[in-house]
Structure 1
Amino acid sequence: MNETLTTENGRTVLRMERSLHHQPEKVWRALTEPKELGGWFPAAVELDLRLDGRISFTFPEEQDDTDGNVGVIRAYDPPRLLEYNWGSEILRWELDPTADGCLLKLTAIHDDRPGSASFTAGWIQCLDALDRVLGGSSIPREHYALLHEHFVKAYGLDQGTVLDDGSIHFERQLTAPKEQVWPALADPAFVAEGIERGRLLKSDEPVELTYEWQHGTVTWHLRDGNGGARLQLTQTGPAKQFLDPWHDLIETLARNLATTTAAS
C-alpha cells in the first residue's frame, strides 16, 4: 500500500495504490457492478454506467438521496479509468495492467483535510475487503482506530496553528463519539501546563465548553466527524507558548480513546 496526502489548487488530494493479483477486467467489474460493490464499498451504489451518467450512494440508515450522496460520472474508459464525484468529493479509480494482475490507483479529492486520516484508514479497510471479494488473501490490518492514529501522525494532522492575533487553534479528528470525549474536557484537571482554569463561561454538553484563563478564554467544540468526534480547541490571548502543552494533552487523549475503541 502507498498513501500520500498533498494540497493542490486549494483542495486536499489523497492518493493510494494497491497491487492486486487480479486482471483489470475482473477488478473493473468490482468497481462498477452494484452487486460486486456491495461486498466492499462503504455505501450501496446505483449508477448509469456512462460518461455523464448519474451515480447515487445510500447508507442503510438513510432513506432519501441528499445532495451529498449523488454525483455524476466524469470520466469513463473501461476497464482502465472511472471518475465520479460523491457530493463535493471526487473519486478517481485507475487500473494499470501488471505481469500478475493490475495496479489499482485511487485519487480522492476533498476539502476536509483534518478528516484525511479517517478517509485513509477507511479506504484501506475497503480495499482489503475488495481484494477478499475478488478471491485474494488480504490479511485484515490493524483496527480502524489504530490505523487512523497512524495516519494522523504520518500526515501531520496533530499540529495546531498560531493565529495572527496570537491565539492558537487545534482541529483534531478523534475515534470516539463526542459523548465519550466530553467527560475528559469537562474535568477541571484537563488543562495544559501553565494555564489556570478560571470562571466557567459556557457548558453545553457534549458540544461546547468555554472558560477563562489568565489572559483570555479557552473554548472546546465537539461535533460529529468521520469515525468519531471532531474536536476543536481555540485559546485566545497571547497563547503561542501553550501550543506544545495542548498538543501533548490532546494527543494523550486521542491515543487513549483509540486504544479503548480498538479494544472494545
Structure 2
Amino acid sequence: MSLVSHATSEHLDENHWLLRFELHLPHAYEALWTALTTPDGLRGWLAAADVLERRLGGAVTLRWLNTGTVVSGHVTAWDVERVAEYTVTEHGRIRFHLEPVGTDSTVIRFVNERGGPEATRLDCLAGWHEHFELLDSALAGRPADWAAWTDTRWAALREAYASLARA
C-alpha cells in the first residue's frame, strides 16, 4: 500500500503547474528532517546533494542518481525541523512542510511549483510519488540502490496518473 494519501496538481497558467502531495509517514519528524535536509539523508531516496548550504539563501545542487539530472539553485525557505524549500533550475520550487503527529508519526505536505507541458506534469507526479515511496524505505533502513534502479515502478505510476487525467 502506498503511503501517498493525496496527490493533486493545479494548472496555474500555460505550462505552469503546482503539484501537491500529502504523506502520513510512521516516522518521527526528526528523522524526516534529516532525510530532507542533509546530503546523506537526500542520497537515500532522492538525489546526491553535491552542494547544500543548510540555511535561508544557501546554495543547493542536486544530482539525481537514477537519471543523472543536475539542478542548482538556493534554499528559499528554512524553518528548522518544519519547512525546507529549495528553488532549483528545471524542477522549480520544491517545498517540504513537516507536521509531527505524536512522537512517532509525521505528515509531510509537499509542493512542487514548476513549468512544463502536460507530459512533464505526469512525469513529475510519477517521479515524486516513487521518490516518496523510496523515502519511506530509506527511513525504514533500506536506502535506494541507485545502481539497480529501473523505471518500471515510475512507468506504472505515470500510467496511473495519465489514466486519472483521462477520466
> Per the shorter chain, which TM-score range?
0.7 to 0.9
Instruction: State whether residues 21 and 136 of structure 1, in contact with CA within 8 Å, keep that contact through their aligned partners in structure 2.
Output: no
SS at match of 1:72: strand
Q: Does 1:49 align with 2:51?
A: no
Q: Alignment length, in residue pairs?
A: 148
Point out where structure 2 has 5 or more consecutive residues left out of the alignment.
143-151
Match of 1:85 in 2: 87
Q: Aligned AA for 1:32?
A: T
User: Secondary structure of the equivalent of 1:50?
Assistant: coil
Corresponding residue for 2:30? 25
> Which structure 2 residues correspond to residues 107-256 of structure 1 after superposition, within 5 A?
107-114=111-118, 115-135=120-140, 143-156=153-166
Larger radius of gyration: 1
TM-score calculated relative to the size of structure 2: 0.79
Q: Once the two structures are superposed, what CA deviation does each residue of 1:184-223 show, in whole Å capped at 9, x if it has no partner?
A: xxxxxxxxxxxxxxxxxxxxxxxxxxxxxxxxxxxxxxxx
Query: 2: distance between equivalents of 1:59 and 1:13?
Result: 21
Instruction: Provide the rounded CA distance (Å) in 2 between the counterparts of 1:7 and 1:129.
Output: 27
CA–CA separation in structure 1 for the residues paired with 2:163 and 2:9: 12
Give the letter aligned to residue 79 of structure 2: D
Q: Are the structure 2 counterparts of residues 154 and 19 from structure 1 closer, same or farther at C-alpha, using a change threshold of 3 Å?
A: same
RMSD of aligned alpha carbons:
2.4
CA distance, structure 2, for counterparts of residue 54 and residue 125 of structure 1? 26
Q: How many Å apart are 1:7 and its aligned residue?
A: 1.8
- Structure 1 position 9, deviation (Å): 5.5
Match of 2:100 in 1: 97
TM-score by length of 1: 0.51
The structural deviation recorded for 1:153 is: 2.3
Contact kept in structure 2, 1:76 and 1:83, CA below 8 Å: yes
Spell out structure 1 runs of 4+ moving beyond 3 A: 59-62
Percentage of identical aligned residues: 28
Structure 1: segments with no counterpart, 5+ residues:
159-264
Between the aligned partners of 2:106 and 2:77, the Cα distance in structure 1 is 19
Q: CA deviation at 1:13?
A: 0.4
